[in-house]
Structure 1
């Protein structure tokens, strides 16, 4: 299976809806094609079907036997693209770097970095008791080892 041709067909199908973008493309040795797409405002099932038909219609199953799966990212999978971070502003993220594990609300995502905010209880500087303090962390994308959206019920 020609990965370049498959990717070109997917990009062509995605170009019809500019809010959609390719997150991942995996083609296994036995020609199982797994396409993961996301969108700035989510991805309706009809779009997954449309993308699948667009790719499937351009291959002859008599020549190449393959299976095709078009899906959206699972909530348990880490964020991969900067565009996914922008989509998840105001959601709680769990972020791992080489030195830290942070959890906070994503308040900003630009071309180079993200900004997380969270509240913590710390001892008062003078006297007994604790006080709530707001913390902020700015993390460059290159330092992020893994970032996942936290599911809150």
Structure 2
């Protein structure tokens, strides 16, 4: 069986200086291996194919019979690493907090390191200004920590 830590270290080393970053590595008990990568500009098929060849050259299929899938993190997949948050600054996101709140807004800022991701959303809110007849929409900043969230993902708006 392929060692997940060895594979993760190898993939991270292979992606250095490419602009790509590792999102996730999964190895199932029956040796189905899935590697997800991402890039601020998106990931193309050639990048996935090249990484697949590197992994197959390093991890011999004769020694470890495995099935390998290398792909990009899906657009609808929850964010798992800091690079995905940074990539989506300025984009609409949907957050489901651990206390059950669903918050939609525009990701405006990402702080913290890979272990302690903090981010700010601009959430539209109606407020009644003194002297005005109609309420106006303003963007209210909402600061959150990734550790407080069940999921954060890109939000599609089909208007």
TM-score, normalised relative to structure 2: 0.84
Matches within 5 A, 1:1-153: 1=1, 2-17=3-18, 19-99=19-99, 100-111=101-112, 112-123=117-128, 129-153=134-158
Within 1, Cα distance between the matches of 2:152 and 2:133? 36
**Runs of 5+ in structure 1 lacking a partner?**
none
In the TM superposition, residue 133 of structure 1 has moved relative to its aligned partner by 3.0
**Runs of 5+ in structure 2 lacking a partner?**
none
Within 2, Cα distance between the matches of 1:135 and 1:32? 44
Within 1, Cα distance between the matches of 2:10 and 2:155? 33
Higher deviation after alignment, 78-87 or 116-125: 116-125
Within 1, Cα distance between the matches of 2:136 and 2:7? 56
Change (3 A) 1:76 1:128: same
How many residue pairs align between the two structures?
A: 152
Change (3 A) 1:7 1:119: closer
Say what the alpha-carbon RMSD is for the aligned residues.
2.0
